[in-house]
Structure 1
């Protein structure tokens, strides 16, 4: 724990001085390696910032809002390229998977709501003798409904971003 805190502190204080891409690599044994050179399977965690740009007000004397610098991380030279048809097919497959998941979540949500509505009629003798058991079951059913509602909302949001 101390090593992670120390590394984070060192990283935060020296990151302003470093101007290189940083890659994080986790090997099959779980060992984490941070490096400035790309390794197969490594994830870029910090990209080299672009050089500061002058606003148009500095160069022309006019008062205008400076534009935010755009950060474009170039792909490595050996990074595989995908043609438009393949990408369109992948997007279509992704949309279909999300739609299927949404339908499944909505069916699960409806089933959970129905189970909650029928909970009183399906009270066992043990639950009638011990109301806490009944309340626990009702609580679990409500938690299930909330979980399916959140999943449904997340899937709908993801599908809306695709369109």
Structure 2
């Protein structure tokens, strides 16, 4: 039996789920571009309002319509008024998070069911676990990777916050 050339094999399909904030989306999009460049099929999921802002300001970096890279959206509870010229969200991050907490799972499962190519992996922002992304991956029987988008110094500050409080170094005095 002849070996199938690697170009004819089915590409792995990775679904990206960033936390709906600019720095998180930008970081996840960089990783998605890199993996796409290495030959993986990518589906990048944004909330509807962040998706509109991303494309309005050219943040997609020319990836829209590129074979093997697709953008999909899930609702975020914001009105989809396309006439609104405002770039400012009308909800706080907490309100968007609360909306996603109760609505993301069903929207995501519907989105995945409609994909042409079934995903082989999910790369999820570590901040999105509140939206039942791990449960969704288990339900779909798809491996999930939590990708922490914060810088190392931010992670260390978060990691050591309790130690700093216990030693009385935080909050600063005087």
Larger Rg: 1
Instruction: Tell me which interval the TM-score lies in, with the shorter structure as reference length.
Output: under 0.3
Taking structure 2 as the reference length, the TM-score comes to 0.19
Bigger fraction of residues in helix: 1
* Structure of higher RCO (CA pairs closer than 8 Å, 6+ residues apart): 2
TM-score normalised by structure 1 residue count: 0.20
